[in-house]
Amino acid sequence: MKFVADTEVVIVGAGPAGSALATMLGMRGVGTVLLDSATFPRDKACGEGLMPSGAQVLRGIGIDVEALPAIRGVTYRVPQAGSVGGEFTDGKVARGARRLVLDAQLAERARSTPNVDARFGCEVSGLERRDGHRIVRYAGGEIGGKFVVGADGLHSRVARWTGWARPPRRPHRYAFTGHVTAPAHRVQSVLVTILDGCEVYTAPTAADELLVAVLGTKAGLRREGEPAAEAYTRHVAEAHPELSVEGVDVRGAGPFWVRPARVAGDRVFLLGDAAGFLDPLTGDGMSDALAGAARLADLLASGVEAPERAYARWEAAQWRRRALVARLARLLTGSSAVARRALLRLQKRPVTLNRLLEVNDGTRSLWSLSPRDWATLAGV
């Protein structure tokens, strides 16, 4: 007897990308099953920045992004060398999005969408191919779909089951993250403080709360034998002596810069961090995941032939842009000497940083940067 699929699309992972995709497919009449081992709300170490393009995707599925803290730009600071800030142009606003809150909102939005069967607290254990369909095994049995989407994060099991997973690139970078109480802070910018060996990244996540993350290699983050919480406190005290991190729950993440061998093929797609993650420093991960969800929803709902090829081409172009911006960000922050030179040049030409923010958001082409912009970023 020929196998008949239970649904059109099975999505593994109900983070922002998976839940947004399920919602968009359900709104367009595509039968979708959304699986996640977690229950919501749940917290997760993340840069928690939502670029303007990502905020626009969420508006389209009915999420009130205006309720989230506004982020109007990014400031880079080197102690004793000054700072430079860039702003989003044309009235665009990014948002600070606490994952504890946003993930729960998006999971509930997906669960309440017609044509979506959301199953949380559901452990997925495997993936196989049968009669031209894909079968996902989970604690309750198995479910078959015409397509399967792995939106299951940085350490994607779907990527492993397909044989596409690859190890992270060196040098391995990690993050410590925590949320600091800061009553009526009025912060409306991401602040990146460049220290010797690491960066301290601060962003608003609520009216009285800031995300404070420390990013770097193992050697840059921790002294030998130093507990993670003590290392986090030490770096935050150097960058922000005005903040108290006593009692803060410190989470770790990494290593970063992970890219699978493929992102689509044989009725399987990888989405969001599962399709590749660069570095939290650029703050684009969540927004690019949402853009990918919107693109994949269009392809699967419209019934195009070979959606795997179309998605892979689109995603490869996005990855090239993101990778170049990430390399530029690492160049600016990886060496204090280079950072100081670039900082001095950017102070005289802040429009370059504005343009780089637009490239990072996907609203400006890399090729629109002028030779003078490139020279400024190089510190010459």
| pLDDT exceeds 90 at position 133 | no
| pLDDT exceeds 50 at position 275 | yes
Angle between helices 99-111 and 16-27 (to 10 degrees): 20
Q: How confident is the model at residue 369 (pLDDT cuts 50, 70, 90)?
A: confident
Q: How confident is the model at residue 276 (pLDDT cuts 50, 70, 90)?
A: very high
pLDDT tens figures, 187-231: 999 999 988 889 999 999 999 999 999 999 999 999 999 999 999
| Domains in the chain with CATH codes | 7-68+94-168+256-324 (3.50.50.60), 173-253 (3.30.70), 331-377 (no CATH)
**Average pLDDT for 99-107:** 95
The helix (run of H) or strand (run of E) holding residue 135 is: strand 133-138
**Average pLDDT for 264-276:** 96
pTM of this structure: 0.92
Note the pLDDT of residue 362: 83
Q: How confident is the model at residue 116 (pLDDT cuts 50, 70, 90)?
A: very high
Higher pLDDT, 374 or 60: 60
Q: How confident is the model at residue 5 (pLDDT cuts 50, 70, 90)?
A: low
Note the pLDDT of residue 3: 43
- % residues pLDDT > 90 (the chain): 62
Residues 222, 173 contacting (CB under 8 angstroms): no
Q: How confident is the model at residue 246 (pLDDT cuts 50, 70, 90)?
A: confident
Pairing of strands 82-87, 124-130: unpaired
| pLDDT exceeds 90 at position 13 | yes
- Which residues have C-beta within 8 Å of that of residue 238, sequence separation ≥ 6? 79, 195, 200
Distance, CA of 377 to CA of 380 (rounded, Å): 8
pLDDT tens figures, 148-196: 999 999 999 999 999 999 999 888 899 999 999 999 898 999 999 988 8
Note the pLDDT of residue 346: 82
Distance, CA of 318 to CA of 362 (rounded, Å): 8
Note the pLDDT of residue 36: 95
**Average pLDDT for 85-95:** 88
pLDDT tens figures, 356-366: 888 888 888 87
The dihedral through the CA atoms of 277, 62, 37, 46 has a sign that is positive
Mean pLDDT of the chain: 90
Q: How confident is the model at residue 1 (pLDDT cuts 50, 70, 90)?
A: very low
**Average pLDDT for 232-251:** 92
Q: Does residue 26 sit in helix, strand or coil?
A: helix
| pLDDT exceeds 60 at position 4 | no
Q: How confident is the model at residue 96 (pLDDT cuts 50, 70, 90)?
A: very high
Distance, CA of 183 to CA of 146 (rounded, Å): 50
Note the pLDDT of residue 335: 64
Q: Is the peptide bond before 255 cis (omega within 30 degrees of 0)?
A: yes
Residues 168, 256 contacting (CB under 8 angstroms): yes
> Measuring CA to CA, how many Å separate 295 from each of 21, 29, 54, 284, 310?
9, 16, 12, 16, 10
